[in-house]
Amino acid sequence: MASRQPGTSAHTAFTHLPVVDVSGLFSPERETREATARQLGKGAEEAGFLYITGHGVPLARIERLLNRTREYFAQPLDEKMRHYIGRSTNHSGYVPEGEEQFDSGTIDHKEAYDIGFDFLSEEGRRPMLGPNQWADLPGFREDIKAYYDAVLALSQQLFRGFALALGLPEDAFTKHVTTPPSQLRLIHYPFNPDAADRPGIGAHTDYECFTILLPTAPGLEVLNGAGEWIDVPLMKDAFVINIGDMLEVLSNGLFVATSHRVRKVAEERYSFPLFCACDYDTVIAPVPVLLSETNPARYEPIVCGEHLYAQTVQTFGYLKRRLEAGELALPDGAKALSSFGHQAAGKAVTA
């Protein structure tokens, strides 16, 4: 899989996303897992975005997630603001409209509730790793955590699949995924008939290794290799997977973080991305066995959690204000937003 020459990209002018049945990753037969991993890697290399089916996440957990999310966002704003994300210690809680901005002066027309790995130990806490701030709505914590746990378990299978796709040992990545700052977002795009031509989320790449996305309505667009925005329609019983910054680095650019945005908010929409990361202190660098004289390292090492934290500080209003006030500092060597993928390559992107 890792044979492409450095400095080139296999991203094509795709017009639709590939579909991969990942049930084979759960097989006891290595040959079956490897065959599935090859399809997974092909989609990651050629598009950076794909659908997966056969994922094994129970429909009942998804339905409870949807019900609790609808109940939560139907509350008055004052009630939701009781769990404002700025009151948390691990970047969890309610995100009001306008709190998050990817581009200067651009407002993302959405609200969200962010949940991370519920790290309860006093030792080992980090800016993005600690105990969650949970809303006290009946059943909220139980049903949201049940979904989080199910999709986090799926992410372990995908980490193994991506490792096999790169010709690595199956546990090459999972041994660095024990208490990761992997974040689940419950995102609500309110219905607004005047918002059809306004951005819901501006163009960006995801910071982590990959994202497991469950959307409930159209609106997602991805940037193909020709610089064209392609719609991502809903697919029944499927998740959308996209490559993030850190897997781009680990694969030395074989897999590229693909820019995407939510452009069309013509109806009420919910979206549930789980951003899958390695453990906070993991040093992310091109995997040595993928390198050679003709394929040298194209990226400097970065610390997983520090990269995630730096990107988050530059995106969220409450953290920007603390940065400006000198209450916190960016990690040494922090990268600017959009440092990977098509945007980093200098392609023009409009929101």
Predicted pLDDT of residue 104: 53
Domain 19-344 fold is Jelly Rolls (2.60.120)
Percent of residues, the chain, with pLDDT higher than 70 = 86
Q: Are 59 and 47 in contact (CB under 8 A)?
A: no
Q: What are the pLDDT digits (tens) for 16-66?
A: 899 999 999 999 999 999 999 999 999 999 889 999 999 999 999 999 999
Please tell me the number of Cα atoms within 13 Å of 240 on its side-chain side: 27
Structure confidence by residue, pLDDT tens digits, 279-297: 999 999 999 999 999 999 9
Give me the pLDDT at residue 105, please: 56
pLDDT average, residue stretch 301-320: 92
Structure tokens at 86: 């700025």
**Confidence at residue 109, expressed as pLDDT on a 0 to 100 scale:** 74
pTM tops 0.85, yes or no: yes
Give the pLDDT score at 21. 98
* Cβ–Cβ under 8 Å, residues 295 and 5: yes
Determine what percent of the chain is predicted with pLDDT higher than 90.
Answer: 68
Mean pLDDT highest for which of 109-118, 120-129, 147-156, 189-198? 147-156
Task: Using the predicted structure, report yes or no on whether residue 312 has a pLDDT greater than 70.
Answer: yes
Segment 62-97, tens digit of pLDDT: 999 999 999 999 999 999 999 999 999 999 999 999
Average pLDDT of the segment spanning 313-337: 89
pLDDT of residue 313: 93
